[in-house]
Structure 1
Amino acid sequence: MSSGYGERRLRVAVVGTGMIAGVHARAARAAGAEVLGVLGRNAARSAQVAAQLDLPRGYASLDEVVADAPDVVHVCTPNDQHHPQALAVIAAGIHVVCEKPLATDPARAAELVAAAADAGVVATVPFVYRYHPMVREVRARIADGELGRFLAVHGHYLQDWMLDEDASSWRVDPTASGSSRAFADIGSHWCDLVEFVTGERFTSVSAVTDVVYPTRPAASGPSFSGSPDPDPVADATERAEVTTEDTAVATFRTAAGRIGNVVVSQVAAGRKNRLWFEVDGTRGSAAFDQEQPESAWFGNERGAQIVVRDPTQGYPDQRRVAVVPAGHPQGYLDAFAAFVADTYAAVRGESPDGLPTFADGARAADVVAAVVGSSATGSWREVP
């Protein structure tokens, strides 16, 4: 069935001007798209970032973006803007990539899933850690029964960019980020990844969260230390009460009755982006560390081995996303580009395996809401 795009390059626009917007723009170019321009909070900001990213246009409004008739719009704005902006793009019949969370509550996330289905547009969420080749290798080995019956999954996602009590960003403001910060931001990635890899879905959760500093500057700075473009928009001398968590620990039950556990922190000194998980089975275990993505660890009662990415070895799904020869490291940007390429393949009518869609984004919203609810009440919560 023809997608109607023929062999022409897809035309895309980026909404948002932070660090992740630049990642989207570069990944779109790597996937062969023509990036038309970028939209910031006002025309001046749009023009500034368009120049930084060497894009032809800085848009003045979302209406201008839609009027330019791109094939795909990438929504990379603060969390509270995702729902209205993605909904407007979908209403125009345009395919959409939207950063997570899809919305600051599950009901609005579900609304976006339904709207995309009704409009017949491709709608994806960048859970890009799925696209590390060794993640696909671990997933394929589990599906093939190499680890035996699933027993447990555990791990952590640790960062340190909020370690300083004077660190802040728009994510600290619950009106912009939602009721969860650390877990919604990075814990959602861990949960999506382990459910994707294991095929096990979490059905209930018991969680605790902690706010380590009662106040932080009421400033909207960069979302990660070392950002080349901090773009402050508030007075950093003013301080605001912090209500969203810096750390979280969540214990899950799966549909099979087994246990999962994760520690999430944005105040773990020296940890920049350590997403790590281990899956334990009756015949063996497997572990993956996102900061060392070229390999995975496999163990059994007789010992353990480190398996290194190699596009000439391993399962077909791993080899599909292993785009450079062994010994030439692939990393996060390659994973992001692979996700975007699969999204564009779906726009052209293909069905790439493992592509995270709005349904996965809504699933993440359900998990985050259950974690927040459990922490607030001190009780187990069902995950829908």
Structure 2
Amino acid sequence: MLGGGFMARTHSQAARLAGAELAVIATSTMPGSERAARELGFETPSAGEDFSRHDLDVVHICTPNSTHAEQSLKALDAGANIICEKPLATDSAAARTILDHAQSRGLTGTVPFVYRYHPMVREARARIRRGEAGRILTVDASYLQDWLLGAEDDNWRVDASAGGPSRAFADIGSHLVDLIEFITDERIVSLVATTRTVHPRRGGAQVTTEDTVAITAELSGGGIGSLLVSQLAPGRKNGLVVEVAGTQESMRFAQEQPEQLWVGRRNGSQLLMRDPETLSTDAVRLCTVPAGHPQGYQDAFNAFIADSYAVFAGEKREGVPMLADGVRAALITEAVLRSAEQRTWVEVEEL
């Protein structure tokens, strides 16, 4: 495990539940590594990234964005598969290098687009795949948070040298786009975007990364979409919402109410609740407790890690976000930044 913060805690809990041996953890300092090893249950704290001294099956990368590419390549060189927090890299060229390097060494990796792992997301995807929605016409989607609302709010992600050239979109907009493409089984092929940096200074330093993003997108099947991303939306803690409208049926998933899926038709609508007795096979696979016993974010993360380990062991699992999905996210992020800079429509580059 590289890193000892919130995401390392989340990864560690899921890894332990999946049966992993928590061998080595490294943070930026030896005292930090020792603390993390005690708190998270790792056998050995380490001061650096010398993976070659350990026989590791998997390296989890939960460090600042700018370090992901270098650490991923080192882990692959040591013969380990990787689970790398998004963004896989802060530019698409580096992300492609990671994918190519993994393939050349017969290894692979995953990227935690974990909202795919809510059972009701899988149910929406299954209904669209069965044709129940008809042809996709529109997507109305948003991801709203408020944790960077004030100019006094600061975080390492704000600094482009640590977080990369995009903040709000790379951090949470990438989740939104991944979820849209996953649910609809379509690609965003072109887009026009505008961004705003509301607070030009935070923590006494100049800010170059965006606080808010608005996007109009065209889908591969001919539909259109409207996306709004903000880290400055008062009262919204993790407001990830995707609504898809087809010629026959609409569906709306809201991550803060993950146990339900709204389904709308012209002659009425209904609220589907997570119930293994009534859901699709793929959704039922991710139901870990009976209906009426809520599942949430950590449950989704646990399922993602378990699937990642299964894939690394040569098994097949449905809907696992792989390294190629990390490259895809980098390409869309670059398209968003390019469109905002040029103030025009741009095509999203294919992998």
Instruction: Name the TM-score, length of structure 2 as normaliser.
Output: 0.98
Letter in 1 for 2:129: A
Residue-by-residue CA offset, 1:237-258 (whole Å, 9 max, x unaligned) = xx10011011100111112232
Supply the AA of the counterpart residue of 2:67: Q
Q: Pick the aligned partner of 1:152 from 138, 146, 149.
A: 138
Kindly indicate whether residue 100 of structure 2 is the aligned counterpart of residue 114 of structure 1: yes
- 1:140 aligned onto 2:126: yes
2-structure distance, mates of 1:371, 1:90: 30
Q: Is the 8 A contact 1:285 1:299 kept in 2?
A: yes
Deviation at 1:52, TM superposition (A): 2.1
**Aligned counterpart in structure 1 of residue 195 of structure 2, from 199, 202, 209:** 209
3-state SS, counterpart of residue 131 of structure 2 = coil
Q: Which secondary structure does the structure 2 equivalent of 1:367 belong to?
A: helix
In the alignment, which residue of structure 1 is the partner of 2:42? 55
Matched residue, 1:166: 152
Which of 354, 359, 369 is equivalent to 2:324?
359
Determine which of 325, 345, 351 is the counterpart of 1:380. 345
| Corresponding residue to 1:183 among 138, 156, 169 | 169
**Which residue is equivalent to 1:243?**
208
Aligned equivalent of 2:260 = 295
Deviation of 1:305 (Å):
0.4
RMSD over aligned Cα atoms = 0.9
Alignment deviations for residues 314-341 of structure 1 (CA, whole Å, 9 cap, x no partner) = 1100001111100000000000000000
1:37 Cα offset (Å)? 2.8
1:79 aligns to 2:71 (yes or no)? no
Aligned-residue sequence identity (percent) comes to: 50
Paired residue for 1:220?
none
Q: Give the conservation status (yes or no) of the 8 Å contact 2:22–2:41.
A: no
Q: Which residue of 2 aligns with 1:92?
A: 78
Contiguous gaps of at least 5 residues in structure 2? none
- Where in structure 2 are the equivalents of 1:271-286 lying within 5 Å? 271-286=236-251
Amino acid at match of 1:166: E
- 2:9 corresponds to: 22
TM, length-normalised to structure 1:
0.90
Q: Matches of 1:47 and 1:355 in 2, distance apart?
A: 32
Residue pair 2:307, 2:317 contacting (<8 A) in 1 also: yes
Q: Which residue of 1 aligns with 2:232?
A: 267
* Unaligned runs of at least 5 residues, structure 1: 1-13, 218-238
CA contact (8 A) 1:311 1:324 kept: no
Q: State the AA in 2 paired with 1:379.
A: T
- Corresponding pairs, count: 349
Contact 1:73–1:96 (CA<8 Å) still a contact in 2?
yes
Give the secondary structure class of the aligned counterpart of 1:61: coil
The answer for the alignment partner of 2:182 in structure 1 is 196
* Cα distance in structure 1, aligned partners of 2:140 and 2:93: 29
SS of 1:311's equivalent in the other structure is coil
Name the aligned partner's letter for residue 170 of structure 1. Answer: W
Query: Which string of whole-angstrom CA distances, capped at 9 and with x for unpartnered residues, describes residues 103-151 of structure 1?
Result: 1110000111111111111310000000000000000000000011110
Name 1:102's counterpart in structure 2: 88
Q: Which residue identity does 2:26 align to in structure 1?
A: L
Could you tell me how far apart the structure 2 residues matched to 1:52 and 1:89 are?
Answer: 24
Q: Which runs of 4+ in 1 moved over 4 A?
A: none
2: distance between equivalents of 1:41 and 1:27?
22
